[in-house]
Amino acid sequence: MKIKKLALITLAAITLINIAAFTGCNSGTENNNSYNNDETGSEVPVVQVMVERHPLESLNYEVMKAPVNEAAFAFNLGQKLLAEQDADDNFVFSPLSVWLPLAALVNATDEANKPALLEALGAGGMTEEQLNEYTQNILYRITGELNKKYEPEFKSPLNIANALFVSQDVTVKQSFAQSFADNYLGTMFNVDFSSQQAVDEVNKWASEHTEGLITNVIDEFNPETVAAITNAVYYSSGWAWEFKENETKPDVFYTANGETSAEYMKLERDGQTYYEDERIQAIALTFNSGGRLWILLPKNETANELYISLTDSYFNEISLNQTSRTGTLMLPKFEIGNRLDLKDALIALGIPLFDREAAPLTGGLIESSAPVWLDEAIHKAMIMIDEKGTTASAVTVLEFPLGGEGRQPTSPFEMSCNKPFVFVLEDYRQILFTGVVNNPAAAPGS
């Protein structure tokens, strides 16, 4: 039995939703583009494969109360990824961008490995159907997808897109295709993984769904790759209270290796969302869209040490014990980005899909008895912060083969982020991006 490669690609950024679906490799297709096949000289079409999607008519708030701990997934994975980086590197990733395609793959995972995957995703004890319903409702809520039904021109600060790129010589399993379309707002395309076509299409898709911020996600596919699943998240919003540009001044930033210079923005006002305990100062900067960017400044430990020990329960404690305070924040402008290999961290997290011997995706994703498993996982992310607001984006690529109560200060606080700090960007209680700024003056990584 010939074993072929299958790829899973996830893009996370400030979110844009693109909706379509897929029923098979040879029916219901629409030609989008074409490429020259170097081996034959013939034109190889790129086709979008359509399936009728069943849209959500209204939100089910009871379903959204399901015990899914995406925050635990976010911090656990982030800590494993940060541990692999150099101590003085900046770090950013989008846990939602990684979580969504893995959640979609629950629908393709065999029964022996499905409980472990659900547990690693923070959804232990749930069924596949319950997770699908939860994800569908969450996606419609956080992207404002239902608003577009009544306001065609509605624009959300958060846009999310999912896509499946599949080889022209295989057929996606109908049950997976329908769930991907309905619950994950998925779009599907046929491509030729043996040519440059697939690389170009995936990179083009990534750029289009991240407003050009994420490009060159992947350089090449293994020639035996038969599919790739992608997710893109794009978030962009202005501050509810903007920093005054004429008050931005250069000053010293103290990195682990010495001093550098940073451009500090100043925010001095009452009613700021503030938290302080023996470990940190924390402030939540509110977006005009309702989301928040938390800045966590450690007192006696490094930012990396704080991040490595950050848990969903501690972050929840910070959120619950915030107070409205008068004070002054000095925050450096920054633009950071990186490209991450997720494979080792996901294996350590308990994701069972990389097991070549068990091949847990066999028969669940495509119509084939050949072994299928997850082979690679790539993630690319970036975030920009300035006086006007925040823009963030990220991309993840996964390939797999076939075959306590805080102290409340009574006087105005002063919070000067002149040393490394942690950030968490959230909206609708979903952690969209998180990371560590060790040097705001460093050029964004590739």
Distance CA 133, CA 412 (A): 45
- What domain range is 391 assigned to? 5-73+93-238+336-401
For residue 444, is it within any domain? Answer: no
292/322 same-domain check: yes
412/283 same-domain check: yes
For residue 145, is it within any domain? Answer: yes
Q: The CATH number of the domain where 319 resides is what?
A: 2.30.39.10
For residue 80, is it within any domain? Answer: no
Whole-number pLDDT of residue 194:
81
Distances (CA, A) of 8 to 30, 164, 398, 403: 22, 8, 4, 15
For residue 84, is it within any domain? Answer: no
Whole-number pLDDT of residue 76:
97
Number of domains in the chain: 2
Task: List, as one string, the DSSP characters of 292-346.
Answer: EEEEEEESSS-HHHHHHH--HHHHHHHHHT-EEEEEEEEEE-EEEEEEEE-HHHH
Q: The CATH number of the domain where 344 resides is what?
A: 3.30.497.10
CA angle (258, 389, 279) in 5-degree steps: 50
The length of the chain in residues reads 446
149/179 same-domain check: yes
For residue 446, is it within any domain? Answer: no
8 Å CB contact between 297 and 420? no
Per-10-residue mean pLDDT, the chain, length 446: 39 24 33 42 62 89 93 97 95 95 95 98 96 97 83 82 88 94 94 85 91 87 79 90 92 94 94 95 92 96 97 95 94 92 94 89 87 86 89 67 47 93 92 95 78
For residue 53, is it within any domain? Answer: yes
193/115 same-domain check: yes
219/303 same-domain check: no
**Is the Cα dihedral 104, 105, 108, 109 positive or negative?**
negative
49/16 same-domain check: yes
143/166 same-domain check: yes
The SS3 of residue 88 is coil
The two beta strands, 258-276 and 158-167, are unpaired
For residue 150, is it within any domain? Answer: yes
264/318 same-domain check: yes
341/328 same-domain check: no
8 Å CB contact between 426 and 294? yes
For residue 87, is it within any domain? Answer: no
266/167 same-domain check: no
Whole-number pLDDT of residue 446:
53
8 Å CB contact between 432 and 287? no
378/280 same-domain check: no
